[in-house]
């Protein structure tokens, strides 16, 4: 049976009347046009579908939309519209972090969550921060370096 589900999406109050068991990933992509986030494994392992739910990074392929009622969601579309998001996206482009690009929205979300809590992470902390995100192309080194670059370039914005 359909249910009215209300939540905050990228800073705006939204609602959808749908089957509460539909996967959040499908609702965000199909009903709200948030196509920036990808579906890789569908089982919570690869991190391609990462979003920020109430300030914490989670994988949306394994959340039914009913569980999002009353929550606050930020997708890659919301993150990349911010100054912080732009700093990361630019650092990824300049740092050569991207090959096929499939994992990158999830990596940007991971970097955003990491730098918000830790503006000057060590290499180990960066690797831990992206531990839920699998990249099959790059070998991670340039992603790690690009996150370091974003930390450096962003400076004080990460302390806001």
Ligand X SMILES: Cc1cc2nc3c(=O)[nH]c(=O)nc-3n(C[C@H](O)[C@H](O)[C@H](O)COP(=O)(O)OP(=O)(O)OC[C@H]3O[C@@H](n4cnc5c(N)ncnc54)[C@H](O)[C@@H]3O)c2cc1C
Q: Which residue has the tokens 């009215």?
A: 4
Partner from ligand FES, another protein, ligand X, none contacting 23, C-beta within 5 to 8 A by type: another protein
Q: Residues 34, 57, 76, 142: which binds another protein (CB under 8 A)?
A: 57
Where does this chain touch ligand X (CB under 6 A) — which range of 28-36, 41-49, 106-114, 125-133?
41-49
φ/ψ (deg, to 5) at 42? 65, 15
For the bound state, the minimum distance from the C-beta of residue 62 to another protein, rounded and expressed in Å, comes to 4
Among 43, 83, 124, 156, binds ligand X (CB under 6 A): 43
> What tokens does 41 get?
């494994």
Q: How far apart are CA 148 and CA 154, in angstroms?
A: 10
DSSP symbol at 125 = H
Q: Which two tokens stand for residue 114?
A: 């990491």
Contact 110, 129 (CB under 8 A): yes
Residues in contact with ligand FES by CB under 6 A are: 39-42, 44-49, 59, 61, 98-104, 135-138
Residues in contact with ligand X by CB under 6 A are: 43-45
């Amino acid at each position: 049976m359909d249910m009215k589900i209300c939540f905050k999406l990228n800073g705006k109050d939204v609602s959808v009347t749908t089957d509460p068991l539909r996967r959040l990933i499908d609702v965000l992509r199909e009903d709200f046009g948030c196509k920036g986030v990808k579906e890789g494994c569908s089982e919570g392992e690869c991190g391609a579908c990462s979003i920020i739910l109430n300030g914490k990074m989670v994988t949306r392929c394994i959340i039914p939309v009913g569980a999002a009622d009353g929550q606050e969601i930020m997708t890659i579309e919301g993150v990349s519209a911010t100054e912080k998001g732009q700093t990361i996206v630019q650092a990824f482009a300049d740092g050569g972090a991207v090959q096929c690009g499939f994992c990158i929205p999830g990596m940007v979300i991971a970097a955003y969550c990491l730098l918000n809590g830790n503006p000057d992470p060590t290499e180990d902390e960066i690797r831990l921060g992206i531990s839920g995100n699998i990249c099959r192309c790059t070998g991670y080194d340039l992603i790690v370096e690009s996150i370091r670059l974003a930390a450096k370039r962003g400076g004080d914005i990460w302390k806001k």
